[in-house]
Amino acid sequence: MLVHICCSVDSHFFLQKLQHDYPDEKLTGFFYDPNIHPYSEYQLRLLDVKRSCKKLGIELLEGEYDFEAWMEAVRGLENEPEKGKRCEVCFDKRFERSAQKALELGEKSFTTTLLVSPLKSQEQLKRSGELFFQKHGIAFVSFDYRTDGGTQEQSRVTKEEQLYRQDYCGCIYGLTMQREQQERLMDEMFSPLSNITLPSSIQERLELYNRRNELEDENIDYKIIREKFLNYRQFSLKVISGKTEVIDAYALFYSTLPRKKAQGRVEFLHKDVGYFNREEIKFVTLKHFNSECNLDYKNIKELLFNPPSFEKELKFRDTLTDTSYNLSPIIVVNEIPQTKLTIELDAKTYEDTRERLIDFLQNP
């Protein structure tokens, strides 16, 4: 039997149940999910599914990530709610490819781990599966592993196996609506030009779960925990001298302006720091930043495109402030300007959670 797989949280429990209920059935996993966006999230879910299938001894095949074809298939259905018509088209596309793969492999039946997801309609899935039986002659087998405590058991397995628990279905449209309803920043879609790893980003989770796999290969005990923290994303920064001259500038992590704009002058200098007369803004020279952080940036543009880690920025911020809760803008420039300045800074701080890996060998 070919088993279409959407994510490890659904697949691990589902495949365990199939192995128990059908011990003589050869199961082949098929990860085909071009709906998942962004691509880094696709990579993360695939990484965890590979680990899951390896632990269960199940062969895994990967389908094509034909995202543009998926986008074309759901055109006009962007505003459909969860379990609406867009989901039906999405199921049909993935089932079509799964049915084709099953036929290629000589299988007579296929199923999907989507059946165990509490976010999906089993009736929708059954209808889509029946259509493919009529079209291709390959049976879609529907299993109900949600009832009789199945969802609670799935949650237990997820925690016990330390699986990656995503918090949205996968597609850009579902993510957009979910974040709007939650009134949360859609930080999954941030992709800095510098390619720096931002806190609680998909890239950070990718690095963590890759490290998790390495520890397992080395038989080192670990634990993945979740922590609440104050997160930060910066949209834009512009520093204007006089009326029109734009100055190269870089704002450190946690730099915020309540009204996104401030005008004034650097009032005085002290120990290579320029103190602005509005909104507690501080200016530091690139030379001072390099010296304090043991860095060697030649100019601000180099800093913009290849910044240090946010941990290093926070350590530097601590040298200028007396509290770890400081959100004042700290702006790095080549030279501290003495002219009238307009500072436009669009950034947001927000409560968030992130995962952290505890390595018991390094932290016994």
**Residue 351 banded pLDDT, cuts 50, 70, 90:** very high
pLDDT digits (tens, 9 = 90+) for 95-118: 889 988 999 999 988 898 988 887
pLDDT digits (tens, 9 = 90+) for 27-59: 999 999 999 999 999 999 999 999 999 999 999
Q: Strand pairing of 282-285 and 2-5? A: unpaired
Q: Would you state the pLDDT for residue 120? A: 67
pLDDT reading at 136 higher than 80: no
Q: Would you state the pLDDT for residue 119? A: 66
For 346, counting Cβ atoms within 10 Å of its Cβ (0-12 exposed, 13-18 middle, 19+ buried), the class is middle
- Give phi and psi for 97, each to the nearest 5: -70, -35
pLDDT reading at 364 higher than 70: no
Q: Would you state the pLDDT for residue 69? A: 95
Half-sphere exposure of 73 (CA within 13 A, CB side): 19
Residues ≥6 apart with Cβ < 8 Å to 21? none
pTM of the model: 0.91
Q: Report the pLDDT averaged over residues 309-326.
A: 88
Residue % of the chain over a pLDDT of 70: 99
* Coil, strand or helix at 163: coil
pLDDT digits (tens, 9 = 90+) for 187-203: 999 888 788 899 999 99
* Domains with residue ranges and CATH for the chain: 2-187 (3.40.50.620), 232-353 (no CATH)
Q: Would you state the pLDDT for residue 108? A: 86
pLDDT digits (tens, 9 = 90+) for 227-247: 999 999 999 999 999 989 999
